[in-house]
């Protein structure tokens, strides 16, 4: 798929995100917009998966876990646009009896989701487990994860990081959404991560850095990450993004982490995200 096609999809994903959260006046647009390019690339370019016949066991398929479950709008949109479930179902986001829960869950059987997330810090452990099972099953496919940078403040992440390196879990590519912002403010002010690249290196991981809004760079970096699998080390991609990317008034601040735009703001946002494949 060429870069322009990916851009078109990502623009539609961003339209979906702001419309979903605005409709129910709740949800997390900031991080969702920031990860729209990455998740579009992952599902439409990188992963081998089976959207039309979702299978929980994922044998012979790449697997993705969203550890920072609060950015569910971007994941739901990408899954729907990829064909996991009907696009109009996006309109049910966060509404009663919907399969599109505020945070991702399995119990309403939404195709594409294999693990609940929302309580932070658990997805890396889960991914390591699935990666170990893939090894036992001699399944050569890859496990992908996405984590918030604020999420790295959770201790379980570092338990998992230590395990993966010590046990050579090398069929795993973790990605960090390094936008530097969390609910209460800048990550540096809330609880600084210090030297993030050096931390992962010290934990024994192969570390790559990526511009999360440049499809050329995403393609090169994720291809390099894939090349590095199978070499005895887990791989992490530190992805620089802008929270709220694509909507000017949501950028440069942490304030749109978990706040929905009102009708006026929605119109403004949609005016900035002109390219569409057709809204739901």
Given the complex with another protein, which of 128 and 210 has the nearer CB atom? Answer: 128
Cα 16 to Cα 29: distance, rounded to the nearest angstrom = 10
Q: Which tokens hold the place of 61?
A: 């398929």
**265 scored as a contact of another protein (CB under 8 A):** no
CB of 29 to another protein, least distance (A): 23
Among residues 1, 4, 25, 59, the one that binds another protein under rule CB under 8 A: 59
CB contact at 8 A, 90 and 97: no
CB of 125 to another protein, least distance (A): 3
**272 scored as a contact of another protein (CB under 8 A):** no
Cα 28 to Cα 65: distance, rounded to the nearest angstrom = 18
Cα 112 to Cα 160: distance, rounded to the nearest angstrom = 24
- Residue 252: count other Cβ atoms within 10 Å of its Cβ: 12
Instruction: State which of positions 234-263 bind another protein (CB under 8 A).
Output: none
CB of 227 to another protein, least distance (A): 24
Given the complex with another protein, which of 65 and 76 has the nearer CB atom? Answer: 65
Q: Which of the ranges 29-37, 161-169, 208-216, 238-246 carries the binding residues for another protein, by CB under 8 A?
A: 161-169
What angle do helix axes 155-166 and 123-136 make, rounded to 10 degrees? 20
Given the complex with another protein, which of 14 and 134 has the nearer CB atom? Answer: 134
Instruction: State which of positions 115-134 bind another protein (CB under 8 A).
Output: 115-119, 121-134
Given the complex with another protein, which of 25 and 109 has the nearer CB atom? Answer: 109
Please state the three-class secondary structure of 59-111 as a single string.
CCCCEEEECCHHHHHHHHHHHHHHCCCCHHHHHHCCCCCCCCCCCCCCCCCCC
CB contact at 8 A, 117 and 143: no
CB contact at 8 A, 27 and 90: no
> What is the size of the binding site for another protein (CB under 8 A)?
40
CB of 171 to another protein, least distance (A): 12
Instruction: State which of positions 24-43 bind another protein (CB under 8 A).
Output: none
The candidate with the shortest Cα–Cα distance to 222, out of 80, 18, 21, 44, is 44
Given the complex with another protein, which of 39 and 164 has the nearer CB atom? Answer: 164
Among residues 52, 96, 136, 263, the one that binds another protein under rule CB under 8 A: 136
CB of 117 to another protein, least distance (A): 7
Q: Which tokens hold the place of 59?
A: 């044998």
| Coil, strand or helix at 20 | helix
Given the complex with another protein, which of 126 and 237 has the nearer CB atom? Answer: 126
Q: What are phi and psi for residue 63, nearest 5 degrees?
A: -125, 140
Distance of CA 139 to the CA centre of its chain: 23
Among residues 1, 4, 25, 137, the one that binds another protein under rule CB under 8 A: 137
**163 scored as a contact of another protein (CB under 8 A):** yes
Residues in touch with another protein (CB under 8 A): 56-59, 63, 65, 105-107, 114-119, 121-134, 136-137, 139, 155-156, 159-160, 162-163, 166-167
């Amino acid at each position: 798929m060429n870069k322009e096609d990916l851009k078109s999809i990502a623009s539609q994903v961003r339209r979906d995100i702001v419309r979903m959260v605005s409709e129910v006046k709740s949800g997390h647009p900031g991080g969702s917009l920031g990860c729209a390019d990455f998740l579009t690339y992952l599902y439409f370019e990188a992963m081998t998966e089976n959207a039309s016949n979702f299978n929980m066991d994922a044998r012979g398929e790449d697997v993705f876990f969203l550890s920072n479950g609060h950015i569910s709008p971007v994941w739901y949109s990408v899954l729907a646009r990829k064909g996991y479930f009907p696009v109009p179902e996006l309109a049910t986001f966060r509404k009663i009896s919907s399969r599109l829960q505020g945070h991702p869950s399995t119990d309403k059987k939404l195709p594409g989701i294999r693990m609940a997330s929302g309580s932070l810090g658990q997805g890396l452990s889960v991914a390591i487990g699935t990666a170990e099972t893939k090894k036992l099953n001699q399944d050569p496919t890859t496990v992908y994860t996405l984590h918030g940078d604020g999420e790295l403040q959770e201790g379980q992440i570092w338990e998992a990081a230590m395990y993966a390196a010590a046990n050579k879990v090398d069929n795993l590519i973790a990605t960090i959404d390094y936008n530097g912002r969390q609910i209460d403010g800048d990550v540096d002010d809330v609880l600084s991560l210090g030297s993030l690249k050096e931390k992962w290196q010290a934990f024994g991981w192969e570390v790559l850095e990526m511009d999360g809004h440049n499809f050329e760079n995403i393609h090169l970096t994720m291809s390099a990450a894939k090349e590095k699998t199978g070499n005895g080390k887990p791989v992490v991609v530190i992805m620089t993004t802008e929270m709220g990317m694509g909507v000017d008034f949501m950028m440069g601040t942490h304030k749109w982490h978990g706040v929905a735009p009102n009708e006026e703001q929605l119109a403004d946002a949609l005016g900035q995200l002109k390219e569409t494949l057709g809204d739901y």
